Structure 1
Amino acid sequence: MTGELSGVDLARQALTAAREAAKKNGAAQTKKPKRRTTAVVRRDGREPLGLGAAIGMMMTERGMAAPAAGGSVLADFDAILAAAVPELAGRVQATAFDAATGRLDVVPDAPAVGTKLRWSAPKLIAAANERVPGANVRALHVLAPAPAKTSPTTAAAAPAPAAPGLPTVPVERRPSPDGYRRAIEAHRQAAPPSRVNPGIAEAMERQTRAMRELSRRAFPEPDIAPDDAPAPIEQARLQRRRQAAATEAAALRRARAERVGATAPPAPGQAAGEVA
């Protein structure tokens, strides 16, 4: 015997049917739960901090701060360098590590080593992070080259300086061997001083005198004029003036003679216009 459905049952059936229809039509959407973020307000009232920063600050205030990884990176740098770039082992020093920025400062002993370090920076950073997991090395800063510190092996090989209180022993010079001295003396005797033939020297002197005489004849030296004598240029000008004056005087005399001859009567037995 089936009884009639009540209103509650009908509503439940209708809701179930609607959900099934929504699933078939794809209208139902599942919402992801929102992620709750926890913010801790600082005691002085400034901007809020993240959870990690707040926990770190709390550990620092209570003396529970973990040791920084910078000390481990600097202490294990030789092993890190030998693992990453073995050919540069012993030629690079790690001077500082900034944990906040992840920068590792290194000093090479030569410019070529610094260039090799810059090329090998990714390998060195990866080796440092692998050896010291919490270091978080992100950058390698190569400083100016500086000479490497003296290693114990080099210091042992270097000669120790003499103590100031100990007396110094003078170095005794050994005399030259007898054979060496005899060879030097024989060389000096075998090379006599150069001698000049008197005949050749006299011939050279005669040739020099003849050349001087020929030069004197070809280029005679002018006579030395007295101080009151005119200069050569003035003397030449004066001579030209005298020649011009003499030529002008001769021309005037000739013109006068021709004039006189033209006006005088002809001599007996001489034709007119004929000059005697």
Structure 2
Amino acid sequence: MMMTERGLVAPAAGTLLDQWETILTAAAPELAGHVRAVGFDTDTGRLDVAPEAPAYGTKLRWITPKLIAAANEQVQGANVRAVHVLAPAPTKAGLATAVADPAPQPTVPAVTVVRRTPPEGYRRAIEAHRQAARPLADPGIAEAVERQTAAMRELSRRVPRARHRRR
């Protein structure tokens, strides 16, 4: 970074992005045309790439060491240390739109959904299932289950809410 700031080394960002297709073809010819290099941070050595589909992103993650080696070999002074695979973006979109625009969100239907009354056959089947389900045969077991359920509810009331959150 110090050498770049003082002008001792020309930054490789422009050269790296300009030669992206050559670098990608050297590392993985099957990905050519399906992945774009969208940015390179010369300070950290991070290369940001955007695949056009999730499968291409997975392939990029698999070949990251090979891709880093090809980039450093093709562009002198690039010093690529990491590849960051961004969310899939179509390759036809421009550089600014592919990075800035989020993925389209599904739209909510304008029509409200009205629940129908279940068919008579369905209601009969549910009622038959409820009648067939037998309660616990031993009243002692049923009482033990009730006591255990009540004890668990009491414990959950005592525990502060902060402990229930996942991190």
TM-score where L is the length of structure 1: 0.32
Cα deviation per residue 1:39-82 (whole Å; 9 max; x = unaligned)? xxxxxxxxxxxxx94xx38x73xxx5542111111010100000
Cα deviation per residue 1:144-182 (whole Å; 9 max; x = unaligned)? 0011117xxxxxxxxxxxxxxxxxxxxxxxxxxxxxxxx
State the 4+ residue runs in structure 1 displaced beyond 3 angstroms.
none
Query: 2 CA distance for matches of 1:125 and 1:141?
Result: 11
SS where residue 124 of structure 1 aligns? Answer: helix
Q: Which runs of 5+ in 1 are unaligned?
A: 1-51, 151-276
70, 85, 89: which is aligned to 2:32? 89
Query: 2 CA distance for matches of 1:129 and 1:65?
Result: 19
Q: 1:73 aligned to 2:23?
A: no
Q: In percent, how many aligned pairs have the same letter? A: 60
Q: 1:124 aligned to 2:67?
A: yes
Query: 2 CA distance for matches of 1:117 and 1:100?
Result: 22
Q: Which amino acid aligns with 2:71?
A: A
SS where residue 26 of structure 2 aligns? Answer: helix
SS where residue 118 of structure 1 aligns? Answer: helix
20, 37, 43: which is aligned to 1:100? 43
SS where residue 57 of structure 2 aligns? Answer: helix
Cα deviation per residue 1:4-49 (whole Å; 9 max; x = unaligned)? xxxxxxxxxxxxxxxxxxxxxxxxxxxxxxxxxxxxxxxxxxxxxx
Cα deviation per residue 1:113-155 (whole Å; 9 max; x = unaligned)? 00000001111000000011200000000000011117xxxxx
Q: Which amino acid aligns with 1:119?
A: W
| Higher radius of gyration, 1 or 2 | 1
Q: 1:144 aligned to 2:87?
A: yes
122, 133, 158: which is aligned to 2:76? 133
SS where residue 21 of structure 2 aligns? Answer: helix
Q: Which amino acid aligns with 1:149?
A: K
Q: Which runs of 5+ in 2 are unaligned?
A: 94-167
Q: Which amino acid aligns with 2:83?
A: L
Query: 2 CA distance for matches of 1:129 and 1:79?
Result: 12
